[in-house]
Amino acid sequence: MTFWQGRSNRKMTGGKYRQFRHKRRYELGSDPVLTRLGEERKKVERTFGGHYKIKILSTNMVNVYDPETKTMKKVKIITVKENNADPHYVQRNIINKGALVLTELGLVRITSRPGQHGVLNGVLVGK
């Protein structure tokens, strides 16, 4: 199912706008991808203009940047500790940008958008 991101048919008062044209293809959106903790699963979607977008459906690994040693490592995620987007995402182990995850190296803040970029990157914030 797709989402329509055009103008609403309703005014702020609740009245209806007069329709001046039909829906356009460039106004379509897609379902949000809630990346979960689990075995690696990806989905490739064709986007507008013939481009492709890789969406991570689930993963258990993250590319971690250590600011002290200035190195990158691929480490296993243990659990989701904090998520400012929605507190219920912690219970459901949903990972998105800004989420704080516990890894084998320590706490990592996610800096990429796994449902948009197709990669999961993060910065080590605590051990």
pLDDT-based confidence at residue 126 (cuts at 50, 70, 90): confident
Assess if residue 7 is contained within a domain: no
Assess if residue 42 is contained within a domain: yes
Mean pLDDT of 89-110: 95
Phi, psi of 38 (to 5 degrees): 165, -165
Assess if residue 26 is contained within a domain: no
Assess if residue 79 is contained within a domain: yes
Q: Any idea which residue has 């219970």 for tokens?
A: 91
Assess if residue 24 is contained within a domain: no
By percentage, how much of the chain surpasses pLDDT 90? 79
Assess if residue 18 is contained within a domain: no
By percentage, how much of the chain surpasses pLDDT 70? 99
Assess if residue 92 is contained within a domain: yes
Check if the beta carbon of residue 103 is closer than 8 Å to that of residue 43.
no
Check if the beta carbon of residue 114 is closer than 8 Å to that of residue 53.
no
- Structural domain that includes position 102: 35-126
Helix, strand, coil percent values for the chain (each to nearest 5): 10, 45, 45
- pLDDT given at position 10: 94
Q: Is 21 exposed, middle or buried (0-12, 13-18, 19+ CB in 10 A)?
A: exposed
**Residue 90 is part of a domain; what is its CATH number?**
3.10.290.70
- pLDDT given at position 79: 96
DSSP letters spanning 40-84 = -EEEEEE-TTS-EEEEEEEESEEEEEETTTTEEEEEEEEEEEE-S
Mean pLDDT of 33-56: 93
- pLDDT given at position 94: 96
Residue 127 clears pLDDT 90, i.e. is over it: no
Instruction: Give the Å distances, CA to CA, from 109 to 59, 61, 95.
Output: 15, 13, 10
Residue 12 clears pLDDT 90, i.e. is over it: yes
- pLDDT given at position 51: 92
- pLDDT given at position 1: 63
Assess if residue 101 is contained within a domain: yes
Query: Which residues face 63 on adjacent strands?
Result: 74, 121
What's the total number of domains in the chain?
1
Average confidence score pLDDT of the chain? 93
- pLDDT given at position 47: 87
